[in-house]
Structure 1
Amino acid sequence: MTQDAAFEDGGEKPLNLGALDADDLGVISALVQDAVFPVTEMTWNAKQRRFALLLNRFRWEDLPKAERRGRKPERVQSVLVMENVMRVASSGVDRADKDIILSLLALEFEAGEDGTGALIVTLAGDGAIRLDVEALEVTLKDVTRPYLAPSGQAPRHPE
């Protein structure tokens, strides 16, 4: 008799995920919830139609293991890339203040016609970034080794 593999059986490997539909995006959204990044780490390359964020992502996927082992939670630097971006607009984001740190709450896709739509990046403090896309294509890739979360605890949200 064989047993299914459990999440805990996996090695400590960096994430490298892609999303081509709203269901996939929901997984990435959960993994980037509470990621923080300086406003200076947002880049839009209009010619390549690519928008990217360099995030300090909270490792939600590691939290149960950390708690079981009495280890403090971790963060990791990750690159979040959105492809096929035709237009970018933001609200509540002061790009002139180079010292501002933004906190990502969620990613959502508002479908349009024939695969087009808007990718909404919701930020804490009523900020948002709207990316009009020709097609949904998002990647999340960890680019550093995990490090202890400076706060030593998991983010909390008031209910």
Structure 2
Amino acid sequence: MSPHLKLIALDAEDLAVISAHVQDARVQASDIIWRQAEKRLVIGMNRLDWEQTLSGCTEPRRLIAALRFDRVLACKSRNIDLARPDKALELVGIEFHDADSPGGSALLMFAGGGALRLDVECLECELTDLGPEDLAGEGV
């Protein structure tokens, strides 16, 4: 198995790299965790292992991963039904829009028009792989 990915974004260019790695990730609404008191949003996901997929050497696989945003002042959603926690979402991409530098908004876009907007003091995002999808039931 290839090494686990761990990426940190502190600006829009860094976030574009993370966005490419989480494109087409599967997210359950119940795996979107907004911890307002900690100014943190965490999203659990099953993301495609794009490096392996693009190398063409093996079957495409999915990885369990966590996407974390820190220094989040506000979290707003559009067209995401949080009352349906098992609802599957597909992450299309992430953008950052500057406002009152170093602050701004991170926009997470989902297929079907769903979106999360995070107003942040400054951009601080981390993507960490936790393991392959097939080990999800084995305590990973």
* Match in the other structure for 2:47: 57
Query: Match for 1:109 among 81, 88, 96?
Result: 96
Q: Is 2:134 the partner of 1:137?
A: no
Instruction: Tell me the amino acid that sits aligned with residue 104 of structure 2.
Output: G
1:146, CA displacement in angstroms?
Answer: 5.3
TM-superposition CA deviations, 1:46-66 (whole Å, max 9, x none) = 11100010010011111132x
Assess if the C-alpha contact under 8 Å between 2:46 and 2:133 holds in 1.
Answer: no
Partner of 1:85: 72
> What TM-score, normalized to structure 1?
0.81
Identify the structure with the greater strand proportion.
Answer: 2
**1:29 paired residue number:** 19
Please identify the structure whose Cα radius of gyration is greater.
1
What is the match of residue 137 of structure 2?
none
Change (3 A) 1:14 1:146: farther
Deviations along 1:48-93, whole A, 9 cap, x unmatched?
Answer: 100010010011111132x2x3x21010000000010000100000
Q: Which amino acid aligns with 1:90?
A: S
CA deviations over 1:17-68 (Å, ceiling 9, x no partner): 1000000000000000000011000001111100010010011111132x2x
- Displacement over 6 Å in runs of 4+: none
Which consecutive unaligned segments of at least 5 residues does structure 2 have?
135-140
Counting aligned pairs with the same residue, the percent is 36
Q: Which has the higher helix share?
A: 2
What's the counterpart of residue 7 of structure 1?
A: none
- The answer to whether the aligner puts 1:48 opposite 2:38 as a matched pair is yes
RMSD: 1.5
Gaps of 5+ in 1: 1-10, 148-159
- Secondary structure, counterpart of 1:25 in structure 2: helix
Number of matched pairs = 135
Q: 1-side partners of 2:84 and 2:35: how far apart? A: 21
Whole-Å Cα distance in 1 between the matches of residues 41 and 106 of structure 2? Answer: 11
Local SS of the residue matching 1:24: helix
- Aligned residue in 2 for 1:119: 106
Calculate the TM-score normalised by the size of structure 2: 0.92
